[in-house]
A and B are shown apart, each in its own frame.
Chain A
């Protein structure tokens, strides 16, 4: 980004990159505000099937904000439904994620007329201990998607700014790194201290997708374990699709309102999907399924190395396209595997009453 104030990054950078003109990759703060103002803000029963929710809100060309963090509380059931539904030219925004963008990228490899990713604004895309994500390597090294790199705090702060209803947020990172040159943030001089500070634009996804520990039928949601950036994403998005491990009575929400991390006006649809983050983890319910993640990752890696799509196609046919709902996917994963994952969580305490 060209401006008068900058760090000294150009003294050391060797990077070749295309200068970006600033544009919002999703609704502007004004557009996002207008959509929220025009919604009904009543306590309505928002329970829908996931199929209906996705059909209503997922359109070609939108920005999807993905909740969870790497392998934790990742909204996998929603991603499966989006793949079945189909959506092209997507922008994805998230801090760190593993299987959600990989599943969408794999769907793009198999049939770009059904699912395609145009660009991604992110901090990290990989599986941590399980390895680097093959699909991001494939898509980027072949120049098939545009990337916009931030730090984990940067992306989280961008969602937070949007959730706060402010157009940008000053942060203390990105400056002096190559991210300052290639992302859509901007260095300015602080009008009060006169010192350099980096500004990031708010990120309002068109649709936020999050999986929560428990929620009532209106969308008031509790999250146990790390919140990741789920409250901010849900509140930043113009529409939010939520799956939850368990729908609980509103009286329970009203007994402990301090436990509500996502308030009902931020949520447009709620679907109860136990194990909705599998093969990711959900604190208090189940641990992540390392074997399944490894299996899927190895199919992606095989494709990246050989160009052969057969294994991938088989996976998508088996776990996504031959299933009407996520319950059918879970049946294929099997009771024993799910029970083992539940035991691996160790029964960490969550409050549902």
Chain B
């Protein structure tokens, strides 16, 4: 696994989907008027016969996708996370999740990665999708993982919600990384505390764990790209013996990764103190940059360090996260 700043690539998802679709005629690509933004202009340009732009009609798009899946196609549905989940929620329930159909709903621009205000910030999409029976929920962290998630979910028998960062995608993992739909990724162990993160918060979690290690905290790091079904056994095992568990997600702390981990630890009788880094049951705001929003809403490397430090209560000054502004073409944690 690399350390920041990370190189970035463009359209790892769109490239992976196109590669898969060239070899598999079952795949149909649906877009809700956000084709380039969701990287599927690649698909549209090369496989136009299997590309359908449904326009700004998300409810209809989900209904069409459900019927296509019923008829044996594998529809991949694309729009921003807010429009993919909030707007057609009842349609996802009735046309996709309840019939347990292999529709892949891909929501871009998660959490506060959009400076566009609450209308565009998918801060509760994981909670909504996680609440649905049959639904698998994936919050991918980097380009290496995304390239593996796409083929990994192709033949999954039920529906999948895949949450993806928009635009420049960091390369965090080496080529040897192996994504699994059933296993969480134990990046390194630690006896004092464990940080559990996914999606856009993984880079911050990596740095936070390093800073804490330098400060004498034996800090483990667990990457959980699949929020549902949660690999509870690995979560509980990673937390065993640790005095503090800190989750980090670009999402409200209600119903997402932090909630899933809390449920798993509570049911296992874990005695670890839990702190959740995420939006604290609040909508965010419009701004000029996402960077500002991550700082405003305490979704930074320092937020994770603070959470671990206060949970452990070792005394002394809290370690300070390094500031490493990324050069053009690089990606750094906030």
A binds B: no
